Amino acid sequence: MLPHKRQLKITGVGDDIASIVNLPWEIPLEEWPEDPSLAAQRGISRHIVRLVRATSDPESEIYAVKETVPEFAHREYEALRELDLRGAPSVSQIAVVDGRTDNQGNELPCAIVTRFLPYSLPYRVLLSGTVTQHEVFNMANALAYLLVRLHLLGFWWGDCSLSNALFRRDADGYVAYLVDAETGEFQKKLSTGQREHDLDIVQFNVAAELEDLKLSGVLFPGMDPVRASESLIKRYRRIWNTLSEPQLLPANDRLAVEKAMRSLQDLGFAVEEVDLQIEGDAGTLSFTPKLVSPNYHSDRLKELMGLEAEELQAKRILASFERFRSREIAITPDSHEAAERWLNEVFLKVVNSVPESMRGRIEDAQFFHEVLEHRWYLGEKAGQDVGLERATEDYIAQVLPLRSDSGAALK
């Protein structure tokens, strides 16, 4: 007599449910076939994880499937859902799949499905090539910034590490996204003790992860894993204190408040409310941010031009636009008309120059930033500005064939 076969139950919201219902849920996840190009983008996990496409179409949606116990799967699903609603940098939840059995009726583990984050890579892939100490510290800074964002939302992660995040290039740095929320939980407001607990965990985890890379010969010899993990904690404290601690400003400096606001904007935060008090003999102002929101530059860029970009990419793009506008203001004084001109005459002209065979290797905003960097490099070499068109052509010919942030196979 065959064992009783349980009924498959898929809990989720949206059209994606129809895309995943026909995946081979009756087969253990470790036996699922996986495209080698996708396997290269999968990091290390304590669970069995597979990256799969919804269909055989190479352009179809990519999902990450993880096997775990039902309690953790549903808890993580709800945490990711709440993080998504609050605009946190995290992967998006798709579904929880319960009641899995194989063809003989044997019970299989519960699975949680999330949407794969385009142009993202695990830290082991990013650090497996030739990297500088600066790049390692940039990744640590990105993780620190992510932890600040989560703590501001009242989310205690509980297992913050390089392994539990995905990284996307953001101009000359990186941006980190939470990819594993299994241990996390929301509080109305985190206490200092809860935040410090998260910091202790991440400091230990990052040092151990980098030490493992060093022992395996991947990390360059001069890299100190402990120092890198300590830099993450210092970066976190610097950002957190700037966002939450009072700043004492000279009352006779008319631009002091504006400078303080701009320093927060440079960190990527818009200041929506502040507490400003005159201290003592009126010679000092106490400036305390009361309400801040992230994505200052990316929100400005989206509002102005409709472009989606990471924070540092947006900052670079806006700087390019402002230089254009300063030259063209007599011709196009209206900022929105100027933005439309710049978008068509500069940005789109550059990104649309990429040949069809190499499209999708780099996100458009990142490609534009790297072309601007390449223009500067060529100009230094030539002793004069070579222009954006020549820089774009040279980048496509010399650099783009060696670059891919999307997991596309290099040809």
Is 376 domain-assigned? yes
At 90 the three-state DSSP class reads strand
- Residue 284 φ/ψ, nearest 5 degrees: -140, 140
User: Beta-carbon neighbour count of residue 120 at 10 Å?
Assistant: 24
CATH number at residue 132: 1.10.510.10
Residue 146: what residue type? L
Same-domain status, 228 and 320: no
Torsion from C-alpha of 337, 339, 340, 343, nearest 10 degrees: 160
Q: Please report whether residue 149 resides in a domain.
A: yes
- DSSP H helical ranges for 27-165: 36-39, 70-85, 123-126, 133-152
Q: From CA 326, how far away is CA 279, in angstroms rounded?
A: 40
Together in a domain, 33 and 59: yes
Out of 209, 226, 244, pick the residue that ends a domain.
244
- Which run of H or E residues covers position 64? strand 62-68
Question: Which pLDDT score is estimated for 76?
Answer: 95
Q: Are residues 137 and 236 in the same domain?
A: yes
Tell me whether residue 374 is in a domain: yes
Residue 81's contacts (CB-CB under 8 Å, 6 or more residues apart) are 93
Examine the fold and report which residue of 69, 97, 115 is the final residue of a domain before the chain moves on: 115
Q: Is residue 2 part of a domain?
A: no
Q: What is the DSSP letter of 330?
A: T
410 belongs to a structural domain: no
| 228 plus 137 within the same structural domain | yes
**CA torsion 61→65→71→75, rounded to 10°?**
-40
CA-to-CA separations, 19 to 22, 51, 81, 183, in angstroms, rounded: 7, 14, 19, 28
Distances (CA, A) of 177 to 82, 145, 156, 270: 15, 10, 15, 20
Q: 3 lies in a domain?
A: no
Query: Under a CB-based contact definition with an 8 Å cutoff, are residues 405 and 121 in contact?
Result: yes
Say whether both 253 and 308 belong to one domain.
Answer: no
Reference 194, options 252, 228, 150; nearest CA is 150
| Same domain? 316 vs 281 | no
Where are any strands of DSSP class E within 121-200? 155-156, 165-170, 173-178, 185-186
- Distance between CA atoms of residues 155 and 166, nearest Å: 18
Boundaries of domain holding 233: 123-244
Residues 214 and 223 sit within 8 Å (Cβ to Cβ): yes
Q: Number of folded domains in the chain?
A: 4
Residue listed under structure tokens 């404290």: 237
Three-state SS at 103? coil
What are the structure tokens assigned to 56, written together? 């055989």
Please state, in angstroms and as integers, the Cα–Cα distance from residue 361 to each residue in 107, 217, 241, 400, 411, following that order: 40, 28, 38, 8, 11
**Is 70 within the bounds of a domain?**
yes
Q: What is the pLDDT of residue 353?
A: 96
Residue 13: predicted pLDDT: 76
Query: Of 258, 277, 294, at which residue does a domain stop?
Result: 294
**Helix crossing, 311-328 with 296-305: angle to 10°?**
50
* AA identity, residue 303: E
Q: Is 409 within the bounds of a domain?
A: no
The model's pTM is 0.89
Tens of pLDDT, residue by residue, the chain (411 residues): 445 556 889 998 777 888 888 899 999 999 988 776 676 666 566 678 888 888 778 778 889 999 999 999 999 999 999 999 999 999 999 999 999 999 888 999 999 999 999 898 888 888 766 667 788 888 899 999 999 999 999 999 999 999 999 999 999 999 999 999 989 999 999 999 999 999 999 999 999 999 988 887 777 777 788 988 999 999 999 999 988 888 888 877 778 888 888 888 888 888 888 888 877 666 788 888 877 889 999 999 999 999 999 999 999 999 999 999 998 888 888 888 999 999 999 999 999 999 999 998 999 999 999 999 999 999 999 999 999 999 999 999 999 998 888 654 444
Give the model's pLDDT for residue 6: 65
* pLDDT value at residue 409: 46
What angle in degrees, to the nearest 10, is found between the helix axes of 311-328 and 335-342?
110
At a CB cut-off of 8 Å and minimum separation 6, what does 115 contact?
16, 61, 62, 63, 64, 91, 92, 93, 94
